[in-house]
Homo-oligomer: A and B are copies of this chain.
Amino acid sequence: MRIGVLTAGGDCPGLNAVIRSVVHRALTGHDDEVIGFEDGFKGLLDGHFRPLDLNAVSGILARGGTILGSARLERNRLREAAESAPDLARQYGIDVLIPIGGEGTLTAARMLSDAGMPVVGVPKTIDNDISSTDRTFGFDTAVGVATEAMDRLKTTAESHQRVMVVEVMGRHAGWIALESGMAGGAHGICLPERPFQVDDLVKMVEERFARGKKFAVICVAEGAHPAEGSMDYKKGEIDQFGHERFQGIGNQLAVELERRLGKEARPVILGHVQRGGTPTAYDRVLATRFGWHAVEAAHRGQFGRMTALRGTNVEMVPLAEAVTQLKTVPEDRIREAESVF
Protein backbone atom coordinates (compact mmCIF):
# COMPACT_ATOMS: atom_id res chain seq x y z
CA MET A 1 0.00 0.00 0.00
CA ARG A 2 1.18 3.54 -0.69
CA ILE A 3 0.15 6.08 1.93
CA GLY A 4 0.20 9.86 1.68
CA VAL A 5 0.28 11.86 4.89
CA LEU A 6 0.01 15.59 5.55
CA THR A 7 -0.43 18.00 8.44
CA ALA A 8 -2.60 21.09 8.18
CA GLY A 9 -3.84 23.92 10.35
CA GLY A 10 -2.31 25.49 13.47
CA ASP A 11 0.52 23.97 15.45
CA CYS A 12 -0.30 21.23 17.91
CA PRO A 13 2.07 19.14 20.05
CA GLY A 14 1.93 15.55 18.85
CA LEU A 15 1.84 16.07 15.06
CA ASN A 16 5.28 14.57 14.64
CA ALA A 17 4.33 11.65 16.86
CA VAL A 18 1.45 10.81 14.52
CA ILE A 19 3.66 11.05 11.43
CA ARG A 20 6.27 8.83 13.07
CA SER A 21 3.67 6.30 14.11
CA VAL A 22 2.11 6.15 10.65
CA VAL A 23 5.52 5.51 9.11
CA HIS A 24 6.53 2.93 11.75
CA ARG A 25 3.31 0.97 11.49
CA ALA A 26 3.18 1.14 7.72
CA LEU A 27 6.80 0.06 7.23
CA THR A 28 7.29 -2.44 10.03
CA GLY A 29 3.75 -3.75 10.57
CA HIS A 30 2.97 -3.90 6.86
CA ASP A 31 5.04 -3.55 3.79
CA ASP A 32 3.82 -0.11 2.84
CA GLU A 33 5.41 2.97 1.38
CA VAL A 34 4.74 6.40 2.86
CA ILE A 35 5.10 9.82 1.28
CA GLY A 36 4.66 13.10 3.13
CA PHE A 37 3.14 16.15 1.47
CA GLU A 38 4.73 19.42 2.48
CA ASP A 39 2.88 22.38 3.98
CA GLY A 40 -0.48 20.67 4.20
CA PHE A 41 -2.88 20.56 1.28
CA LYS A 42 -0.59 22.97 -0.52
CA GLY A 43 1.94 20.19 -1.02
CA LEU A 44 -0.81 17.90 -2.25
CA LEU A 45 -1.95 20.39 -4.88
CA ASP A 46 1.47 21.63 -5.88
CA GLY A 47 3.17 18.25 -5.93
CA HIS A 48 5.58 18.91 -3.09
CA PHE A 49 6.20 15.68 -1.25
CA ARG A 50 8.99 13.42 -0.09
CA PRO A 51 9.28 9.75 0.79
CA LEU A 52 9.25 9.01 4.51
CA ASP A 53 11.31 6.08 5.76
CA LEU A 54 12.32 5.12 9.30
CA ASN A 55 15.29 7.48 9.25
CA ALA A 56 13.13 10.40 8.21
CA VAL A 57 11.07 10.06 11.38
CA SER A 58 13.92 9.21 13.72
CA GLY A 59 14.09 11.40 16.83
CA ILE A 60 10.87 13.33 16.18
CA LEU A 61 8.55 11.72 18.73
CA ALA A 62 9.23 14.32 21.39
CA ARG A 63 9.63 17.26 19.06
CA GLY A 64 7.01 19.96 18.70
CA GLY A 65 5.88 21.31 15.35
CA THR A 66 5.64 19.16 12.24
CA ILE A 67 8.47 18.01 10.01
CA LEU A 68 6.06 18.27 7.09
CA GLY A 69 5.21 21.91 7.67
CA SER A 70 1.77 23.46 7.52
CA ALA A 71 0.48 26.41 5.55
CA ARG A 72 -2.79 28.13 4.84
CA LEU A 73 -4.60 27.37 1.64
CA GLU A 74 -7.40 29.38 0.14
CA ARG A 75 -10.68 27.57 0.37
CA ASN A 76 -11.44 27.76 -3.35
CA ARG A 77 -8.18 26.14 -4.37
CA LEU A 78 -9.19 23.26 -2.14
CA ARG A 79 -12.66 23.10 -3.63
CA GLU A 80 -11.21 22.86 -7.11
CA ALA A 81 -8.89 20.16 -5.88
CA ALA A 82 -11.79 18.17 -4.52
CA GLU A 83 -13.24 17.98 -8.02
CA SER A 84 -10.22 16.10 -9.22
CA ALA A 85 -9.64 14.10 -6.05
CA PRO A 86 -9.49 10.66 -7.63
CA ASP A 87 -7.04 11.96 -10.24
CA LEU A 88 -4.89 13.40 -7.48
CA ALA A 89 -4.72 10.05 -5.74
CA ARG A 90 -3.83 8.35 -9.01
CA GLN A 91 -1.26 11.00 -9.84
CA TYR A 92 0.72 10.28 -6.67
CA GLY A 93 -0.08 6.60 -6.76
CA ILE A 94 -1.42 6.73 -3.23
CA ASP A 95 -3.97 4.24 -1.97
CA VAL A 96 -4.98 6.41 0.93
CA LEU A 97 -4.45 9.95 2.21
CA ILE A 98 -4.05 10.48 5.94
CA PRO A 99 -4.60 14.18 6.68
CA ILE A 100 -3.88 15.23 10.24
CA GLY A 101 -5.68 18.39 11.19
CA GLY A 102 -8.44 20.32 12.91
CA GLU A 103 -11.97 21.10 11.96
CA GLY A 104 -11.05 22.85 8.71
CA THR A 105 -8.77 20.04 7.66
CA LEU A 106 -11.31 17.39 8.48
CA THR A 107 -13.96 19.26 6.51
CA ALA A 108 -11.59 19.35 3.57
CA ALA A 109 -10.84 15.67 4.16
CA ARG A 110 -14.50 14.92 3.99
CA MET A 111 -14.82 16.88 0.76
CA LEU A 112 -12.00 14.87 -0.81
CA SER A 113 -13.46 11.68 0.54
CA ASP A 114 -16.91 12.45 -0.85
CA ALA A 115 -15.24 13.18 -4.16
CA GLY A 116 -13.79 9.70 -4.26
CA MET A 117 -10.38 9.89 -2.65
CA PRO A 118 -9.67 7.18 -0.06
CA VAL A 119 -9.15 9.17 3.13
CA VAL A 120 -8.52 8.28 6.78
CA GLY A 121 -8.43 11.36 8.98
CA VAL A 122 -6.63 12.05 12.24
CA PRO A 123 -8.20 14.80 14.34
CA LYS A 124 -5.94 17.43 15.87
CA THR A 125 -6.67 20.44 18.03
CA ILE A 126 -5.28 21.80 21.24
CA ASP A 127 -8.79 23.12 21.92
CA ASN A 128 -10.26 19.62 22.34
CA ASP A 129 -13.43 20.79 20.63
CA ILE A 130 -13.88 18.09 18.01
CA SER A 131 -17.00 16.00 18.42
CA SER A 132 -16.92 12.21 18.50
CA THR A 133 -13.54 11.88 20.19
CA ASP A 134 -13.16 12.03 23.95
CA ARG A 135 -9.88 13.85 23.60
CA THR A 136 -7.49 15.17 20.99
CA PHE A 137 -3.71 15.17 21.34
CA GLY A 138 -2.16 18.57 21.96
CA PHE A 139 -4.85 19.46 24.47
CA ASP A 140 -3.07 17.84 27.41
CA THR A 141 0.12 19.74 26.57
CA ALA A 142 -1.70 23.04 26.30
CA VAL A 143 -3.41 22.46 29.64
CA GLY A 144 -0.06 21.52 31.16
CA VAL A 145 1.63 24.70 29.97
CA ALA A 146 -1.23 26.87 31.21
CA THR A 147 -1.30 25.08 34.56
CA GLU A 148 2.41 25.53 35.09
CA ALA A 149 2.02 29.23 34.36
CA MET A 150 -0.77 29.47 36.93
CA ASP A 151 1.34 27.62 39.48
CA ARG A 152 3.98 30.30 39.03
CA LEU A 153 1.56 33.21 39.05
CA LYS A 154 -0.18 32.03 42.19
CA THR A 155 2.80 32.48 44.47
CA THR A 156 3.42 35.93 43.08
CA ALA A 157 -0.20 36.93 43.43
CA GLU A 158 -0.23 35.71 47.01
CA SER A 159 2.98 37.40 48.15
CA HIS A 160 2.13 40.64 46.45
CA GLN A 161 -1.59 40.80 46.99
CA ARG A 162 -2.59 40.90 43.41
CA VAL A 163 -5.29 39.76 41.08
CA MET A 164 -3.89 37.88 38.10
CA VAL A 165 -5.96 37.47 34.94
CA VAL A 166 -4.59 34.65 32.82
CA GLU A 167 -5.85 34.42 29.28
CA VAL A 168 -5.58 30.97 27.73
CA MET A 169 -6.49 29.68 24.28
CA GLY A 170 -9.98 28.55 23.30
CA ARG A 171 -11.94 30.71 20.91
CA HIS A 172 -15.16 28.73 20.74
CA ALA A 173 -14.78 26.10 23.45
CA GLY A 174 -13.45 26.60 26.94
CA TRP A 175 -11.81 23.23 27.57
CA ILE A 176 -8.31 24.61 28.15
CA ALA A 177 -9.62 27.28 30.52
CA LEU A 178 -11.77 24.73 32.34
CA GLU A 179 -9.07 22.15 32.91
CA SER A 180 -6.09 24.45 33.44
CA GLY A 181 -8.25 26.58 35.69
CA MET A 182 -9.14 23.52 37.77
CA ALA A 183 -5.58 22.19 37.76
CA GLY A 184 -4.04 25.58 38.47
CA GLY A 185 -6.48 26.29 41.25
CA ALA A 186 -7.95 29.40 39.64
CA HIS A 187 -10.52 31.21 41.73
CA GLY A 188 -12.57 32.19 38.73
CA ILE A 189 -12.92 30.60 35.29
CA CYS A 190 -14.51 32.35 32.30
CA LEU A 191 -15.56 30.28 29.32
CA PRO A 192 -16.99 31.07 25.88
CA GLU A 193 -19.88 28.76 26.73
CA ARG A 194 -21.31 31.06 29.37
CA PRO A 195 -21.04 34.87 29.42
CA PHE A 196 -19.49 35.97 32.70
CA GLN A 197 -20.69 38.60 35.13
CA VAL A 198 -17.92 40.98 36.15
CA ASP A 199 -19.88 41.62 39.33
CA ASP A 200 -19.48 37.98 40.33
CA LEU A 201 -15.73 38.16 39.86
CA VAL A 202 -15.52 41.40 41.83
CA LYS A 203 -17.56 39.87 44.63
CA MET A 204 -15.43 36.72 44.69
CA VAL A 205 -12.21 38.72 44.95
CA GLU A 206 -13.60 40.99 47.65
CA GLU A 207 -14.79 38.03 49.70
CA ARG A 208 -11.37 36.44 49.42
CA PHE A 209 -9.62 39.59 50.59
CA ALA A 210 -12.15 39.89 53.39
CA ARG A 211 -11.25 36.46 54.75
CA GLY A 212 -7.53 37.13 54.53
CA LYS A 213 -6.80 35.51 51.17
CA LYS A 214 -5.46 38.66 49.59
CA PHE A 215 -5.02 37.45 46.04
CA ALA A 216 -6.89 35.79 43.23
CA VAL A 217 -6.16 34.11 39.95
CA ILE A 218 -8.77 34.26 37.21
CA CYS A 219 -8.50 32.05 34.16
CA VAL A 220 -10.14 33.40 31.02
CA ALA A 221 -10.53 31.68 27.68
CA GLU A 222 -9.69 34.03 24.82
CA GLY A 223 -13.20 33.47 23.51
CA ALA A 224 -14.95 34.30 26.79
CA HIS A 225 -17.04 37.43 26.89
CA PRO A 226 -18.85 39.43 29.52
CA ALA A 227 -22.60 39.12 29.94
CA GLU A 228 -24.61 41.85 28.26
CA GLY A 229 -24.16 45.09 30.19
CA SER A 230 -21.65 43.56 32.54
CA MET A 231 -18.74 45.64 31.31
CA ASP A 232 -17.68 47.76 28.41
CA TYR A 233 -15.99 45.47 25.97
CA LYS A 234 -15.04 45.80 22.37
CA LYS A 235 -13.12 43.65 19.98
CA GLY A 236 -9.62 44.91 19.12
CA GLU A 237 -8.26 45.82 15.73
CA ILE A 238 -7.89 42.86 13.38
CA ASP A 239 -4.64 42.46 11.45
CA GLN A 240 -4.20 41.21 7.88
CA PHE A 241 -3.75 37.63 9.13
CA GLY A 242 -7.01 37.69 11.01
CA HIS A 243 -5.58 38.11 14.50
CA GLU A 244 -6.91 40.50 17.08
CA ARG A 245 -4.37 42.96 18.38
CA PHE A 246 -3.54 43.34 22.07
CA GLN A 247 -7.00 44.20 23.28
CA GLY A 248 -8.09 40.67 24.03
CA ILE A 249 -10.53 39.92 26.80
CA GLY A 250 -7.73 39.18 29.29
CA ASN A 251 -6.28 42.65 28.98
CA GLN A 252 -9.64 44.37 29.10
CA LEU A 253 -10.86 42.36 32.05
CA ALA A 254 -7.73 43.16 34.05
CA VAL A 255 -8.26 46.88 33.45
CA GLU A 256 -11.90 46.60 34.45
CA LEU A 257 -11.16 44.66 37.62
CA GLU A 258 -8.41 47.07 38.62
CA ARG A 259 -10.83 49.95 38.17
CA ARG A 260 -13.63 48.37 40.15
CA LEU A 261 -11.54 46.78 42.89
CA GLY A 262 -8.99 49.53 43.34
CA LYS A 263 -6.46 46.72 43.57
CA GLU A 264 -3.68 45.79 41.22
CA ALA A 265 -4.90 43.39 38.55
CA ARG A 266 -2.35 42.19 36.03
CA PRO A 267 -3.07 40.37 32.78
CA VAL A 268 -0.94 37.54 31.48
CA ILE A 269 -1.67 36.43 27.92
CA LEU A 270 -0.12 33.01 27.48
CA GLY A 271 -0.54 32.88 23.74
CA HIS A 272 1.44 30.61 21.46
CA VAL A 273 3.53 28.91 24.14
CA GLN A 274 0.45 26.73 24.65
CA ARG A 275 0.57 25.24 21.20
CA GLY A 276 4.24 24.55 20.64
CA GLY A 277 7.03 22.46 21.97
CA THR A 278 7.42 18.95 23.22
CA PRO A 279 4.16 17.07 23.84
CA THR A 280 3.32 15.53 27.22
CA ALA A 281 3.53 11.76 27.59
CA TYR A 282 -0.26 11.61 27.34
CA ASP A 283 -0.29 13.39 24.00
CA ARG A 284 2.56 11.30 22.63
CA VAL A 285 0.72 8.10 23.46
CA LEU A 286 -2.58 9.31 22.02
CA ALA A 287 -0.90 10.62 18.86
CA THR A 288 1.01 7.37 18.44
CA ARG A 289 -2.17 5.34 18.84
CA PHE A 290 -4.02 7.52 16.33
CA GLY A 291 -1.26 6.99 13.79
CA TRP A 292 -1.27 3.23 14.33
CA HIS A 293 -5.03 2.95 14.00
CA ALA A 294 -5.15 5.18 10.93
CA VAL A 295 -2.85 2.77 9.10
CA GLU A 296 -4.85 -0.23 10.27
CA ALA A 297 -8.09 1.39 9.16
CA ALA A 298 -6.57 2.06 5.75
CA HIS A 299 -5.67 -1.61 5.43
CA ARG A 300 -9.20 -2.57 6.38
CA GLY A 301 -10.55 -0.14 3.80
CA GLN A 302 -12.38 2.00 6.36
CA PHE A 303 -12.27 5.22 4.37
CA GLY A 304 -14.13 8.44 5.07
CA ARG A 305 -13.51 7.94 8.76
CA MET A 306 -11.20 9.33 11.37
CA THR A 307 -9.61 7.99 14.52
CA ALA A 308 -11.36 8.81 17.79
CA LEU A 309 -10.72 8.07 21.44
CA ARG A 310 -13.75 6.48 23.07
CA GLY A 311 -13.09 5.56 26.65
CA THR A 312 -9.81 3.67 26.47
CA ASN A 313 -10.28 2.50 22.88
CA VAL A 314 -9.41 4.09 19.61
CA GLU A 315 -12.30 3.70 17.19
CA MET A 316 -13.02 4.82 13.65
CA VAL A 317 -15.88 7.32 13.30
CA PRO A 318 -17.37 8.88 10.16
CA LEU A 319 -15.75 12.18 9.20
CA ALA A 320 -19.23 13.55 8.69
CA GLU A 321 -20.06 13.02 12.32
CA ALA A 322 -16.95 14.77 13.52
CA VAL A 323 -17.32 18.05 11.73
CA THR A 324 -20.98 18.84 12.06
CA GLN A 325 -20.74 20.46 15.43
CA LEU A 326 -18.22 21.77 17.90
CA LYS A 327 -17.79 19.96 21.20
CA THR A 328 -18.26 22.62 23.86
CA VAL A 329 -18.03 22.36 27.63
CA PRO A 330 -21.33 21.02 28.99
CA GLU A 331 -23.04 22.56 32.01
CA ASP A 332 -22.21 19.68 34.36
CA ARG A 333 -18.51 20.03 33.74
CA ILE A 334 -18.76 23.73 34.55
CA ARG A 335 -20.58 22.88 37.76
CA GLU A 336 -17.79 20.54 38.86
CA ALA A 337 -15.31 23.37 38.50
CA GLU A 338 -17.35 25.95 40.38
CA SER A 339 -16.81 24.48 43.80
CA VAL A 340 -13.09 24.85 43.49
CA PHE A 341 -13.30 28.52 42.56
Interface residues of A (CB under 8 A from B): 7, 10-11, 15, 20-21, 24-25, 28-29, 58, 61-66, 69-71, 134-135, 140, 143-149, 151-161, 164, 179-180, 182-185, 213, 239-241, 243, 245-247, 251, 255, 258, 264, 266-269, 271-273, 275-278, 280-282, 284-285, 288-289, 292-293, 310-312, 336, 338-340
**Does A339 lie within 8 Å of B25, measured CB to CB?**
yes
Task: List 28 contacting pairs A-B, 8 Å CB cutoff, sorted by A.
Answer: A11-B156, A29-B339, A61-B185, A64-B152, A64-B159, A65-B159, A69-B159, A69-B160, A71-B161, A134-B311, A143-B281, A144-B281, A145-B152, A146-B281, A147-B284, A152-B272, A152-B276, A152-B277, A183-B285, A183-B288, A240-B258, A246-B247, A266-B271, A268-B272, A282-B282, A288-B336, A292-B340, A310-B311
| Given contacts A11-B156, A311-B134, A140 and B182 within 8 Å (CB-CB) | no
A276 CA to B162 CA, complexed, in Å: 12
Chain B: CB-nearest residue to A64:
B155
**Does B282 lie within 8 Å of A140, measured CB to CB?**
yes
Chain B: CB-nearest residue to A284:
B183
Copies of the protein in its oligomer: 4
What's the minimum C-beta distance from A6 to chain B, rounded to whole angstroms?
Answer: 12
Extra inter-chain contacts (7) besides given A29-B338, A147-B281, CB under 8 Å? A24-B340, A65-B158, A65-B159, A71-B160, A144-B280, A246-B247, A266-B271
Chain B: CB-nearest residue to A26:
B339
Q: Which residues of B contact A161 (CB under 8 A)?
A: 69, 71
Question: Is chain A's binding surface mostly helix, strand, loop or mixed?
Answer: helix
What's the minimum C-beta distance from A134 to chain B, rounded to whole angstroms?
Answer: 5
| Given contacts A71-B161, A246-B251, A281 and B11 within 8 Å (CB-CB) | no
A146 CA to B273 CA, complexed, in Å: 10
**Does A155 lie within 8 Å of B65, measured CB to CB?**
yes
What's the minimum C-beta distance from A162 to chain B, rounded to whole angstroms?
Answer: 8
Residue from the list B144, B164, B281 in contact with A183, Cβ < 8 A: B281
Chain B: CB-nearest residue to A68:
B159
| Given contacts A152-B145, A159-B70, A272-B164, A281 and B251 within 8 Å (CB-CB) | no
Q: Which residues of B contact A285 (CB under 8 A)?
A: 143, 179, 182-183
